[in-house]
Structure 1
Amino acid sequence: MAFTKAPWPRSLRSQEWFGGTGKNAIMHRSWMKNQGLPPDTFDGRPIIGICNTWSELTPCNAHLRDIAERVKRGVYEAGGFPVEFPVFSCGESTLRPTAMMFRNLAAMDAEEAIRNNPIDGVVLLVGCDKTTPSLMMGAASVNIPTLVVSGGPMLNGKWRGKSVGSGTAIWQFSEMVKSGEMTLEDFMDAEQGMARSAGSCMTMGTASTMASMAEALGMTLPGNAAIPAVDARRQVLAQLSGRRIVDMVKDDLKPSDILTREAFENAIRVNGAIGGSTNAVLHILALAGRIGVPLTLEDWDQFGRDVPTIVNLQPSGEFLMEEFYDAGGLPAVIRAVGEMGLLHRDALTATGTGMWENVKNAPNYNSDVILPKEKALTASGGIAVLRGNLAPKGAVLKPSAASPHLLQHRGRAVVFESIEDYHARVNDPALDIDESCVMVLKYCGPKGYPGMAEVGNMGLPAKVLKKGITDMVRISDARMSGTAYGTVVLHVAPEAADGGPLALVQNGDMIELDVPGRRLHLDVSDAELAQRKAAWVSPIPKPEGGYAQLYVEHVTQADEGVDFDFLRGCRGSGIGRDSH
């Protein structure tokens, strides 16, 4: 039986490859048909790419093959033809030196695969935290109809009858071992229960944060962010997404229609409400740069500052993603943000309707998990953007994960010149440090590590932990895992390796942190800093050749999203020459 063409209101992009009776079209179709495809496969139905970050080396994404099959079902049901293809999968848990080093590489891979293949729309299958922004960045640069489907979080971690959060428990338990509160044997025993199903971290770490950001931006179907990976409803959402992307192609609904200034403001406010990861700052800035929407660190501070953190999840709170989904998930949070008067309700989403239409009836089934604003974890959440002579281009701190008594603090700097220096000295009994000090880590920024690893949440010295102290002010040009917590100042820009003031800090300098005043100040005179700068020589060798050299030469600083300077701006879906 021949396929009856749908009444498409416009020509399909894929027909540039497959349409007509010319030699090139016949060649393209015949090669594709070696997979056993019926003659009418390419006679007018939309070709939907399924961009898959499945990899057994990215354990959070190792179940995405099954999700892809569910998307395919939906595409077929809606009259499209799905084609699955792989792109580089940068998983934070195993990739060295850090997955952030390769986020831009994965974005380039996705961009070129989408632009230069015969597809009319694309579904992005993502999970572990860098795969979400990298694929969204690549797709935004191409700007064909795009829908995001996340792999979902793991089931709650369990150990000896208690729920434990992946990532967050690692930081907690390792500190308890150093302080003597927990034996190494117990720590090892807890290992198997921390990650007990397919999926990404079930805390409000970067993976869940970025899934939430994709939904808050309008790039997913409602409810995508929180459904557990092994819940059958995750498969249902994948199948519905397959159906929806076909309609998005029909309507020519593109990322540039959805990723507007209003959408980014919505996402920043939702990030404040969920107590989202500081990594979201970098990824959202980079995504905005790709689609061409002006967005700055100041926007993060302005639009997130007065948003109460109402999601009671680790690491800021108590619960995990299973409870969050059961409580109503992100639609309930977005509705609450809207009822506070903080939502652009008409911002267009992938459903073809405004955000408010998607969430206006979303229920909150558990007010202990999704709190009323009167009981918020932090009345003024979001991301605090700090400036001063130590961070002229800004630094960030997550108030909901910090200790209130340290948000205004003055202390003596204890400086670690590298992460290796930190590991070598932090537990030395002779280290001159106490809980009033400020721990400073250098040369771990975009160029310095390179890649800006998640080492900013430096573990406290054992001798401080043994006094019962659980938090100190820590400052670096690095990142930290979204599963981590503490009074940690991150993303200091310019970074030390780029000659920023952080490189000039010396042991004994006094540092002032004033989060309410948004100030980060090194109490050293301008004249003294100028002398230090004149004598400064970068200790970081320049990479010679390969991707590392490309990265260091072209990566932007944290205040610009750590993207490559030559990738900013949407380059569109132009179709290249046919060599046949």
Structure 2
Amino acid sequence: MKEVNLRSRAWFGRKGKDGFVYRAWMKNQGIPDYEFDGKPVIGICNTWSELTPCNAHFRELAESVKRGIYQAGGFPVEFPVMSLGETLMKPTAMLYRNLASMDVEESIRANPLDGVVLLCGCDKTTPSLVMGACSVDIPTIVVSGGAMLTGRHKGTSIGTSDLWRYQAAIKEEKMSQEEFVTLEGSMCRSRGHCAVMGTASTMACMVEALGLSLPNNAAIPAADARRKVLAQLSGLRIVEMVKDDLKPSDILTRKAFENAIITNAAIGGSTNFVLHLLAIAGRVGIDLTLQDIDTYSTKIPLLANLQPSGKFFMEDFYYAGGLQAVLKELAEHLNTDCITVNSKTIKENFERSEFVNREIIASVIEPFNAISGIVVLNGNLCENGAVIKPSAASAELLQHTGKAVVFEDIEDYKERIDNDDLDVDESSVMVLKNVGPKGYPGMPEVGNMALPKKLLMKGVTDMVRISDGRMSGTGFGTVVLHVSPEAAVGGNFSVIKNGDLITLDLPNRSLHLHVPDEELEERKQNWKAPALASERGYVNLYTSTVQQAHLGADFEFLRGKSGSEITRDSH
């Protein structure tokens, strides 16, 4: 065990006026003297909020964490940080991911904390908390909130991915409004985040694959009592991590990021994984690029038969062995010597796992789908790259050429998409501009545009769609996302016109606009940049400093670790 000089002693170990102030004001909560006698102070960073329904059970979960901290001889202190609710926040929770990360970073650095437990669940709460905590780099462990129980309706299992099908059914007049309302009460029937392999579950799998959580963190359902057990064990473990001085920088190596990419391919994880992993890598100084996502995904088949790429749900995934079973199956592809928060390697953790159901977790030899991962596209339409999730796409559209139907922004799309006179057919390529990081602002999840009503009525279920925005991890379709540079800052994507021919060629990793270079240059010379949101405060900061999607959409001034040292003392 390393000899650790507790940060908290710079507050609670002081003599005279300064120590008096720090201890006396804490004692107004009924804390006895001995709690300040050299115990590791553990912060519980809580994203509980009734405006973030996925995380609404976190006050209860925090109590389990506290029990573990007390049992291990630590001193727990729970504190709130900005909570990002994907379902309610406008214009998009992604706009505030970087802000929440700043809140977390500064809250940890400014306070007498020796270690921290991150309570996160809904999509952006996980990356924002990890981004902030790893920037400070004190011992850190993640406890996810868990997925909700699988929805049930008329004897059928349902989840968030089905929402897109219901939306189409309403447009096609195949579903009544009454049944639509009934489904609202049938889908989200317990605490927790989305029941499918959406972004929230992808993020929970990401932190487990990186080694930032205890084994099985990703898949235990929120309503399962074993979620509380894991929270208590995490409380116990964080105290030991402080004593061992085991920090995120010891865990988040280049090899750990490679493991996360490989794992994400095997589980059919969300395309949002790309943005968040790149941002985290930037915070800890790991040279990770968009191309690395493709490189480490390319030979990995899809093992997890989970919506939206498959049939089953996160609850089923846990009963089938969870992420540790997937990691065990991927052993030959992984860097198995990577250390995790319990001081064991990922191999030592997954060796004890057992497969339960091969229909849900397939083998590498006989995968659920040979096509997996997130493919990075290059070409003159996306000079800095774009991404697509082939396991959620239609195989017949992965090599396709069609005429562009261009929507200049989301308002243009909403106004015209269902017009009878819209010049579109099933071979068209739908293009949505100005929904990128700066252009919206915040890069909303509108990339999987709903198809025109007149085509839905003909039985069309998928089309090639391209945007500089994002797609919900629960979404599916042949959807190209994260085009960089985005339309709002120029580049070829900004000057696509109706009728331009576009070729998507996934086997060759290509996205090509069939317009001569000379004409593209002429168009760009005549292009006028749209007016960006320039409101006061954070939105102004965001639009002026956010990086492009291929860099993770973080702020340049937040890249690189800042450390835990306090440079000023007010007392």
User: Which residue of structure 2 aligns with residue 563 of structure 1?
Assistant: 554
Q: SS at 2:569's partner residue? A: coil
Query: Offset at 1:306?
Result: 1.0
Contact 2:441–2:543 under 8 Å retained in 1: yes
2:191 to 194, 198, 215: 198
Q: SS at 2:34's partner residue? A: coil
RMSD between superposed Cα atoms in Å: 1.0
Aligned 1:460-471 pairs, distance under 5 A: 460-471=451-462
User: Which residue of structure 1 aligns with residue 384 of structure 2?
Assistant: 393
User: Which residue of structure 2 aligns with residue 323 of structure 1?
Assistant: 316
User: Which residue of structure 2 aligns with residue 423 of structure 1?
Assistant: 414
2:149 to 155, 160, 165: 155
User: Which residue of structure 1 aligns with residue 514 of structure 2?
Assistant: 523
User: Which residue of structure 1 aligns with residue 75 of structure 2?
Assistant: 81
1:207 to 173, 191, 200: 200
Query: Offset at 1:188?
Result: 1.9
User: Which residue of structure 2 aligns with residue 181 of structure 1?
Assistant: 174
User: Which residue of structure 2 aligns with residue 253 of structure 1?
Assistant: 246
Aligned 1:349-364 pairs, distance under 5 A: 349-364=340-355
Query: Offset at 1:25?
Result: 1.3
The CA deviation string for residues 177-231 of structure 1, in whole angstroms up to 9 with x for no partner, is: 2123322322222111111111000100000000000000000000000101010
Query: Offset at 1:8?
Result: 7.7
Q: SS at 2:35's partner residue? A: coil
Query: Offset at 1:52?
Result: 0.2
The CA deviation string for residues 414-472 of structure 1, in whole angstroms up to 9 with x for no partner, is: 00011111111111111111110000000000000000000000000111111111100
2:12 to 13, 18, 22: 18
Unaligned 5+ segments in structure 2 are none
Query: Offset at 1:268?
Result: 0.1
Task: Say whether residues 1:487 and 2:478 are aligned partners.
Answer: yes
How many percent identity over aligned positions? Answer: 61
1:51 to 24, 45, 52: 45
Q: Distance in 2 between matches of 1:380 and 1:289?
A: 29
- AA at the equivalent of 1:258: I
User: Which residue of structure 2 aligns with residue 500 of structure 1?
Assistant: 491
Q: Distance in 1 between matches of 2:355 and 2:483?
A: 38
Q: Distance in 2 between matches of 1:54 and 1:349?
A: 26
Query: Offset at 1:550?
Result: 0.1
The CA deviation string for residues 265-321 of structure 1, in whole angstroms up to 9 with x for no partner, is: 000000000000000000000000001100001100000111111100000000001
Q: Distance in 2 between matches of 1:20 and 1:316?
A: 56
Contact 2:282–2:560 under 8 Å retained in 1: yes
The CA deviation string for residues 106-133 of structure 1, in whole angstroms up to 9 with x for no partner, is: 0000000001100000000001010000
Q: Distance in 2 between matches of 1:343 and 1:80?
A: 34
Aligned length: 571
Structure 1 segments of 4 or more deviating over 6 A? none
Q: Distance in 2 between matches of 1:452 and 1:541?
A: 13
Q: Distance in 2 between matches of 1:302 and 1:536?
A: 35
1:109 to 86, 103, 113: 103
Query: Offset at 1:160?
Result: 1.0
Q: SS at 2:503's partner residue? A: strand
- AA at the equivalent of 1:440: V
User: Which residue of structure 1 aligns with residue 433 of structure 2?
Assistant: 442
Q: Distance in 2 between matches of 1:8 and 1:299?
A: 35
Contact 2:70–2:76 under 8 Å retained in 1: yes
User: Which residue of structure 2 aligns with residue 577 of structure 1?
Assistant: 568
User: Which residue of structure 2 aligns with residue 309 of structure 1?
Assistant: 302
Q: Distance in 2 between matches of 1:521 and 1:214?
A: 35
Q: Distance in 2 between matches of 1:473 and 1:377?
A: 24
Q: Distance in 1 between matches of 2:464 and 2:133?
A: 38
Query: Offset at 1:473?
Result: 0.2
Contact 1:440–1:476 under 8 Å retained in 2: yes
TM-score, normalising length from structure 1?
A: 0.97
Q: SS at 2:330's partner residue? A: helix
Q: Distance in 1 between matches of 2:366 and 2:181?
A: 36
- AA at the equivalent of 2:379: G
Contact 1:378–1:399 under 8 Å retained in 2: no
Task: Say whether residues 1:266 and 2:252 are aligned partners.
Answer: no
Q: Distance in 1 between matches of 2:368 and 2:388?
A: 16
User: Which residue of structure 1 aligns with residue 158 of structure 2?
Assistant: 164
User: Which residue of structure 1 aligns with residue 447 of structure 2?
Assistant: 456
Q: Distance in 2 between matches of 1:400 and 1:378?
A: 8
- AA at the equivalent of 2:376: V
- AA at the equivalent of 1:366: N
2:226 to 224, 230, 233: 233
Query: Offset at 1:254?
Result: 0.3
Contact 1:121–1:246 under 8 Å retained in 2: yes
Q: SS at 1:484's partner residue? A: coil
- AA at the equivalent of 1:295: L
Contact 1:443–1:496 under 8 Å retained in 2: yes
User: Which residue of structure 1 aligns with residue 541 of structure 2?
Assistant: 550
Q: Distance in 2 between matches of 1:417 and 1:378?
A: 36
User: Which residue of structure 1 aligns with residue 57 of structure 2?
Assistant: 63
1:379 to 330, 352, 370: 370
Q: SS at 1:135's partner residue? A: helix
Contact 2:468–2:487 under 8 Å retained in 1: yes
- AA at the equivalent of 1:477: D
The CA deviation string for residues 242-276 of structure 1, in whole angstroms up to 9 with x for no partner, is: 00000000000000000000000000000000000
Contact 2:4–2:242 under 8 Å retained in 1: no
2:121 to 127, 134, 154: 127
- AA at the equivalent of 1:370: I
The CA deviation string for residues 455-493 of structure 1, in whole angstroms up to 9 with x for no partner, is: 000000111111111100000000000000000000000
Q: Distance in 2 between matches of 1:411 and 1:187?
A: 34
Contact 1:61–1:127 under 8 Å retained in 2: yes
Tell which deviates more after alignment, 20-29 or 33-42: 20-29
Contact 2:92–2:442 under 8 Å retained in 1: yes
Contact 1:377–1:400 under 8 Å retained in 2: no
Tell which deviates more after alignment, 347-356 or 71-80: 347-356
- AA at the equivalent of 1:105: L
Unaligned 5+ segments in structure 1 are 1-6
